Amino acid sequence: MKFGTDTLSSFSNWVELFGLLPESSLSPFFSAGYYATYAQIEQADVQCFWGYKDEKNFLFYPYSKKNINKLGYDLLGDYYDISGAYGYNECFDSESLEMRSMEDKLIV
């Protein structure tokens, strides 16, 4: 299984995996276009973690990433808040076509 992370400046894997979903499972809230708009409003970096084995076995997890140090916290190092279109998402996988715990899906 291959894994990677896409960004809004390089999102070909994200778009390809989104396109493999059956029409009944397509939600604009998982699309790169939605996150591009969302990033402008939230002033966040957008990334999409993905895993791919074949066209029937893949997962992807789009999320926005905001640095919380800028909120005035006195922290050692950088810390981030990660959220998705539905708040604190779980990953979307091809096997069950439903939201699942990423921990459950990364066991290969």
Closest C-alpha to 52, from 95, 2, 5: 2
Span 47-89, pLDDT tens digits:
999 999 999 899 888 999 888 888 888 888 888 888 887 776 6
Q: Residue 1 has what DSSP assignment? A: -
Q: Would you mind telling me the total number of residues written for the chain in this entry?
A: 108
CA distance 81 to 99: 20
Confidence at 108, pLDDT banded by 50, 70, 90? very low
Closest C-alpha to 19, from 50, 43, 41: 50
Q: Residue 85 has what DSSP assignment? A: T
The angle that helices 12-20 and 32-42 make with each other, rounded to 10 degrees, is 130
Question: Residue ranges per domain, the chain?
Answer: 2-105
Do 47 and 6 form a contact (C-beta atoms < 8 A)?
yes
**pLDDT the model gives residue 98:** 47
Do 7 and 14 form a contact (C-beta atoms < 8 A)?
no
CB under 8 Å to 56, separation ≥6 — which residues? 94, 95
Span 2-61, pLDDT tens digits:
999 999 999 999 999 999 988 888 888 889 999 998 888 888 899 999 999 999 899 888
pTM of the model: 0.75
